Amino acid sequence: MAESPSSSAQQARRILAERLAGLCRDAGLTGREIAVRCGWHPSKSSRIMNARTPPSLGDIRAWCRACGAEDQIADLLALLRNAEGMWIGWRRMERAGLKQVQEARLPLFERTRRFRSYSSWFVPGLIQTRAYTEAVLRAVQRRRVEVDDVAEAVAARVERQRVLYEGGRRFAFLIEESVLRNGIGGTDVLVGQLGHLLAVGSLPNVSLGVVPTGPDRSRMPVEGFWIFDAAQTNVELVSGYLTITQPSEVTMYAETFAELAALAVYGSSARALIASARDALE
């Protein structure tokens, strides 16, 4: 299990470790005795019980058999997969291509009613044009994905945009002004994307804010993130995809979003920044 910067993932690992330690105590065994029964070095069971070393699927099965608790295997394997899923490196996440990554996120978008998205790098996926999406995903594929299913991935992401137009959902998008001027795919693609932002920003269920560039900001840009209702935050980092569910951490991102939102401009002021960037490109 890759080391994660999130306390949500760390907490999930601790819960799993505590469950395994509890099985050991219930069976009247010491960590050393567990190691002997499993054929491990004595220190391995200690590292697992103290959440210093994550167990593998095989480790959990062996541990439960040693404790006479085979009925706990399925539950503990589910805990392991949950902990692993909170932090996924891009190589592992995208090894089968980009289409499945796009499709895997659809249920989360469908069940969410309040979206908050902040981006300091590029236009968020839900409000991208097809051409912009293709340019972004093609760049990702060339950099780190062997499978070329970009066309299918683009179709999946564009199809997901239907949630914008289905009732009962609210969207708040924040983008840095630099996003309006730094593009990918060329001038025509960015010009088309900026025109699309002007259209999307007029939807009644959408708030589109632009954080102006300036020398005296009170809150500097941070990594891009999505907040889904108040239950989950997802962050795309250079090394992987982070899922945060711990309430205190989700609250930290919500507070950061509110601070950045207070710096943003909206309505006619936001449209003026977008139009100015488009005019400069044209």
The two structure tokens encoding residue 39: 């054929």
Question: Is residue 1 a part of any domain in this protein?
Answer: no
Residue 84 predicted with pLDDT over 50: yes
Instruction: Find how far residue 188's CA is from the centre of its chain.
Output: 29
Residues 39 and 108 placed together within one structural domain of the fold? no
Residues 132 and 52 placed together within one structural domain of the fold? no
Query: Where is the domain boundary, 49, 69, 85?
Result: 85
What CATH number is given to the structural domain containing 35?
1.10.260.40
Q: Are 84 and 13 in contact (CB under 8 A)?
A: no
State the total domains in the chain: 2
Cα separation, 142 vs 186, in Å, equals: 17
Tens of pLDDT, residue by residue over 115-147, are: 999 999 999 999 999 999 999 999 999 999 999
Residues 54 and 172 placed together within one structural domain of the fold? no
Residues 75 and 104 placed together within one structural domain of the fold? no
Confidence of residue 242 (pLDDT cuts 50, 70, 90): confident
Cα separation, 146 vs 126, in Å, equals: 25
Range of the domain at 57: 7-85
Tokens 């699309």 belong to residue: 196
Residues 99 and 79 placed together within one structural domain of the fold? no
Residues 117 and 35 placed together within one structural domain of the fold? no
Q: What share of the chain is helix, strand, coil (3-state, %, to 5)?
A: 55, 15, 30
> From the CA atom positions of the chain, what is the Rg in Å?
23
Burial track 217-235 (b if 16+ CB lie within 10 A, e otherwise): eeeebeebbbbbeeebbbb
pLDDT top residue among 84 and 142: 142
Question: Is residue 172 a part of any domain in this protein?
Answer: yes
Residues 103 and 53 placed together within one structural domain of the fold? no
pTM of the model: 0.77
Residues 32 and 94 placed together within one structural domain of the fold? no
Tens of pLDDT, residue by residue over 11-68, are: 778 888 999 999 999 999 999 999 999 999 989 999 999 988 889 889 999 999 999 9
Residues 106 and 207 placed together within one structural domain of the fold? yes
What CATH number is given to the structural domain containing 123?
3.30.870.10
Residue 156 predicted with pLDDT over 80: yes
Report which of 208, 26, 14 is spatially closest to residue 126, judged by C-alpha positions. Answer: 208
Question: Is residue 138 a part of any domain in this protein?
Answer: yes
Residues 57 and 126 placed together within one structural domain of the fold? no
Query: Where is the domain boundary, 85, 111, 138?
Result: 85
